[in-house]
Structure 1
């Protein structure tokens, strides 16, 4: 009986040891599998942008870089160069297309000279609310823009919703389009320039970093931009009047050099697209909140704010029609199709 009991004890201990040993091997195998199966090919990706650090798009882009880096276990490191440290907005697009930087953020307006289809985003009064722009970009309208960008060598990762464009100036309130006559306005692209001309003003193109000094010195009387940037760039110190008419929904595509994108492993591409989609949604949700907050703060800082009543927008839209006509003339059937998709 004693021998049988001893034998049972030996077999029991052996079984326990075998189970423990097997568990350790299994864990070791799993860990090894995770390291090889879930690892990312090492890459360092440079990302440049020019917006102020506190802008909601900037915050979304910083989070994008952080999430890609962290979720890849540091293997895919996105190194950010903010606030124009690496490239000005004038130099950004060419650097992306030539591979001087892997990822860059710039306005669709500045892309439209290279990819004319993106000018559709600047057409006056085609978007009436924040959701409409997001829905259009998620559908066929957005697909056309993304394909046009890829044809030029740029992969769109997300469209950052900047908010709506407004007008600020230091001379007089702009309550009708006729109030623009004789005023010099900073513009940031071709279509905004045509709109300023249609209203009787004189557009002057300049980069975002030059505007404050130009307003301060009287080189220009006013500028068009979103209220988020107006506040962060202290327009309230050099202009007095703000007109809110939501004439265009500004979009800032985050773009990667297409040749670089094509060389990335599929696993890395999937990670980047997932994180980009999450941040695009977050940025879009912030746009309306930030537009309202910053307009109120500009008023509190002394700017005289005029919100164009809905019924008076008819005149603003009618006098902006030459901008629509020119876009269709320059872009033919493709331009008309883009307009039809949003109207």
Structure 2
């Protein structure tokens, strides 16, 4: 599909998450990935085999074509440099979460984007899941009353590769940021206090001392309630995510990522997110996450990680 109404993205990073975005947008009517950037020759060859021009760097891409925006799905440690490259070229950026390994990196990415005057959105796709949007509207409208407690769980079918885990910042920076953002977004409240605890053994010797397979965090919310975040990498049925909200008037529980549905929910949300990013670029309107959200979430993730380090020799790898 081509045409003046099409919003053309260049995907920067064709790894696991990049492939998810490719599938989600493969048949989209108006937002399409038209170029791929990846330093790994095998990844470029795979993209080329699928009919997408592939380049080893953003500079190589820009020497040949200028997309409408960059979709950054490279490893987290490269987010800052890629946002800077986009800013230098004047290209809008949709950056995969968490937009940096720590709050300072996310803040700097936002500063660079703002100084260049480019639209910058952080890809927290759960904000585009209809069930969660309805729940947020119910909370904001007072249907649940005062929020007393939120329980958010994310359990993956199996751990990712050790090479990814040792560079991703650990379970709270890699996985937990989704829950922290979701809780802040659903309730409209900030995270004031964090206590965290690892649970169970680490099954991969290559990541011991650098990451854990399961952890929980108890959060204090600015409105006076509390929240529990439960994370794990061993859910035999497949990837699963739930949220449960208890209020003074009502209660609601959602399993919005169900192994029975595979990746369908995520793919639909990724497509809506891409549409929203195009709207941000074209009209300045967005329902997505911004820099302040990314910084607040990473702050909570690092406070949780700091709790894990006490007596467990865990550290964030930079």
Q: TM-score normalized by structure 1? A: 0.28
Instruction: Using CA pairs under 8 Å that are at least 6 residues apart, name the structure with larger relative contact order, 1 or 2.
Output: 1
Higher relative helix content: 1
Higher relative strand content: 2
